[in-house]
Every structure is written in structure tokens, then in C-alpha cells.
């Protein structure tokens, strides 16, 4: 069985990954390979491991049985071009790492550590101890947390925030979250989004991106969150309208934001790119991270194990886990 691996995130776990594969595996590591070289390797591959699979690759994939994405997103797979019978699977394991990020960002934004860090770099001691015009910050404990989306990421983030004494509520597309079972004050569908924003001290966005959720948080929702509120986006950038978010931060309509997911990304590994059309980097009240909230060794060890296990299932003729429905 030829297996082509084109995702750099598995390289640190290469020995572990290879040891878990079937004994007859012919593994071709093609991270950063020239497109022509990659196409030659894919021609006889039964399994392709990577986040991007183009129509050009599909056209030469004569023996392909499985495309396994090293993550959750399958938006860069050319589903319409895939030969009949090719399975696509994904994997997760990022939720605990993202929950840590959410907790850290919530504390940093609530306590004002972001502003204090930037002030002290200018030798300014921005605390009420040294400046009577600065209010004493509240603790994160006791904050009201609003969740826009409450899947694995939202629920695990809530477990950590609840443990330090926060209260919470959530909205989801279906509205079918059992609020009492999770210790939430309430849960509802997205028709209650403005209500959620209005009562929250900090809003965590982790909803899926689709035609219904794109731009779901705009100027009106940010005004409802208000000048004492903060936002943490670990879902997808376009869930929050870019201009509305920039202007709300610039004009102190909201107090601060931690943004891990963006509106533009580099075209290739090693390339640089501004993360949006607007100059978020000029704003003092933004924690900017490069879609790294889920990037830990633990995440990719789990993903490596999942992918290897699915390849073993494929070799044995067993049903695969986490297959993604698609039609040609």
C-alpha cells in the first residue's frame, strides 16, 4: 500500500506514525514537494495524507482509496473531481489545546494584561497602584461567558472557565444544548444571539462557518457586547464581520479581542501575508495569534494516531472513522 504524506505537521511524529502503519506500507514523504513530483507519487498511491488535494491531483490518482486530512477542515479538497469510491476522512484532537487558549485569553483580556504589557514596554506602569485614573480590574472569576457555538471546543472551554467561577450561556444553530446538564444559565438558538452578546462580559466564538453563519456577528452584535466586553474568536474569521470588528476595537465599542482565526492566510508554507484587509496590528487592544490555538504536540500526536488507525482499517477492509460525506 503506497501512502503519500504531504503534511508537515506529521513530520515531528514520523517514527510514531510509521510504526503504527500496516507492515506492507510504502510511505512517501512529499512535504513541500514540487507539484510534478507530488503528482508522480500520487499516481500509484492508495492513501494521500494532507490538507490540500487539487483537481489536478485527482486527475492522475489511478489507485486512490483514501484522502485523510490532518485536521478538521476539508475545504481545500476538490471533492467534485474525486474518482468514485474515494473516501475522505478528517481528525480532531485540537479541542483541549484550544480550550487552554480560550482560558488564557479570557484571563489576559479580563485582567488587562495585554495593555499592561504594551505600556510597560514604554516604561509606563499601567496599574491602579501607580495611576489613580486606572480602575482596579475584576477577576475572570465571576465573569459571564457567552458561547457562540458549543461543540467540543465550546464545551471544553466552558469546563475550564466554569472551574474558576464563571457563569455562562450559549447559542448554537440548533439550540439543542442541554443547558442544565452543562451548568449553563441557558442555551438557545441563534435567534437569541443579541441577547447573549448583551449579557456577556466575554464572548467565545467557535461556531462552524457556513452560509448561515458567515458574518453572524456584525456591528449590532458588537454594540450589544459593549465597551466592557471582550471577544475571543477561535472558530473562523468570517464568522465576525471584519470591518465591524476592526471599527469596534478601534473606537472602543468593545474593550478588547483575541483573534486566532483570520480573513486572509499565506498562500504557501513560509510565505507572509497580512491577516486581513484592515490594519488590526495597529490596534493596542487586540491579541493576535496565527491560527495557533490548537497547534500543540498533543494535537498532532492524536491526529497521527487517528490517521494511522484509519489506514489500518482501510487495509483490513473495515469501516473508517470520521469520514466526510461528499458527492461527485
Cα–Cα distance, 69 to 19 (Å, whole number): 19
C-alpha cell, 118: 504594551
pLDDT per residue, tens digit, the chain (328 aa), is 999 999 999 999 999 999 999 999 999 999 999 999 999 999 999 999 999 999 999 999 999 999 999 999 898 999 999 999 999 999 999 999 999 999 999 999 999 999 999 999 999 999 999 999 999 999 999 999 999 999 999 999 999 999 999 999 999 999 999 999 999 999 999 999 999 999 999 999 999 999 999 999 999 999 999 999 999 999 999 999 999 999 999 999 999 999 999 999 998 888 899 999 999 999 999 999 999 999 999 999 999 999 999 999 999 999 999 999 875 5
- CA angle in degrees (0–180, nearest 5) for 239-243-249: 95
Please report the pLDDT score of residue 327 as a whole number.
57
What's 292-323 look like in SS3? CCCCCHHHHHHHHHHHHHHHHHHHHCCCCCCE
Please report the pLDDT score of residue 75 as a whole number.
86
Cα–Cα distance, 147 to 154 (Å, whole number): 7
Please report the pLDDT score of residue 328 as a whole number.
54
pTM recorded for the entire structure: 0.93
Domain with CATH 3.40.50.720 in the chain: 2-93+297-316, 95-288
Please report the pLDDT score of residue 268 as a whole number.
82
Q: Pick 2-93+297-316's CATH classification: 3.40.50.150, 3.90.550.10, 3.40.50.720, 3.10.20.600.
A: 3.40.50.720
Beta bridge partners of 168: 145
The candidate with the shortest Cα–Cα distance to 88, out of 51, 62, 39, is 51
Please report the pLDDT score of residue 213 as a whole number.
96
Q: Class for domain 95-288, per CATH? A: alpha beta
Question: What are the residue ranges of helices labelled H in 142-255?
Answer: 152-163, 179-182, 193-199, 219-225, 242-250
CA torsion sign for 236, 241, 246, 248 is negative
CA torsion sign for 67, 72, 77, 80 is positive
Q: Is 322 left (phi over 0), alpha (psi -120 to 50) or beta?
A: left
Please report the pLDDT score of residue 321 as a whole number.
97
Q: What is the CA radius of gyration of the chain?
A: 22
Contacts for 256 with CB less than 8 Å, ≥ 6 apart: 109, 114, 115, 230, 231, 249, 285, 286, 287
Residue for cell digits 488587562? 112
Amino acid at each position: 500500500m503506497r501512502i503519500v504524506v504531504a503534511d508537515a505537521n506529521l513530520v515531528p511524529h514520523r517514527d510514531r506514525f510509521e510504526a503504527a502503519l500496516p507492515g506492507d506500507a510504502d510511505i512517501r514523504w512529499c512535504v513541500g514537494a514540487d507539484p510534478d513530483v507530488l503528482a508522480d507519487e500520487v499516481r500509484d498511491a492508495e492513501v494521500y495524507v494532507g490538507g490540500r488535494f487539487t483537481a489536478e491531483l485527482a486527475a492522475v490518482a489511478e489507485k486512490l482509496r483514501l484522502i485523510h486530512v490532518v485536521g478538521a477542515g476539508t475545504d481545500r479538497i476538490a471533492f467534485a473531481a474525486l474518482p468514485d469510491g474515494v473516501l475522505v476522512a478528517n481528525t480532531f484532537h485540537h479541542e483541549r489545546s484550544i480550550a487552554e487558549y480560550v482560558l488564557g485569553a479570557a484571563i489576559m483580556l479580563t485582567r488587562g494584561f495585554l495593555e499592561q504589557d504594551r505600556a510597560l514596554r514604554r516604561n509606563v506602569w499601567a496599574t491602579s497602584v501607580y495611576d489613580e485614573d486606572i480602575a482596579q480590574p475584576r477577576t475572570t472569576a465571576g465573569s459571564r461567558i457567552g458561547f457562540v457555538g458549543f461543540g467540543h471546543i465550546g464545551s471544553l472551554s466552558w469546563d475550564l472557565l466554569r472551574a474558576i467561577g464563571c457563569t455562562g450561556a450559549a447559542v448554537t444553530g440548533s439550540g439543542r444544548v442541554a443547558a442544565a446538564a452543562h451548568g449553563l444559565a441557558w442555551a438557545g438558538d441563534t435567534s437569541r444571539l443579541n441577547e447573549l452578546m448583551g449579557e456577556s462580559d466575554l464572548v467565545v466564538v467557535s461556531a462552524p462557518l457556513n452560509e448561515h453563519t458567515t458574518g453572524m456577528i456584525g456591528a449590532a452584535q458588537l454594540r450589544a457586547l459593549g465597551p466592557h466586553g471582550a471577544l475571543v474568536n477561535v472558530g473562523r474569521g468570517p464568522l465576525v464581520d471584519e470591518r465591524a470588528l476592526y471599527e469596534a476595537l478601534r473606537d472602543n465599542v468593545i474593550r478588547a479581542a483575541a483573534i486566532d482565526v483570520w480573513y486572509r492566510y499565506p498562500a504557501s508554507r513560509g510565505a507572509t501575508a497580512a491577516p486581513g484587509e484592515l490594519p488590526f496590528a495597529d490596534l493596542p487592544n487586540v491579541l493576535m495569534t496565527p491560527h495557533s490555538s490548537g497547534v500543540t504536540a498533543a494535537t498532532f500526536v492524536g491526529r497521527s494516531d487517528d490517521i494511522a488507525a484509519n489506514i489500518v482499517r482501510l487495509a483490513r477492509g473495515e469501516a473508517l472513522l470520521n469520514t466526510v460525506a461528499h458527492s461527485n
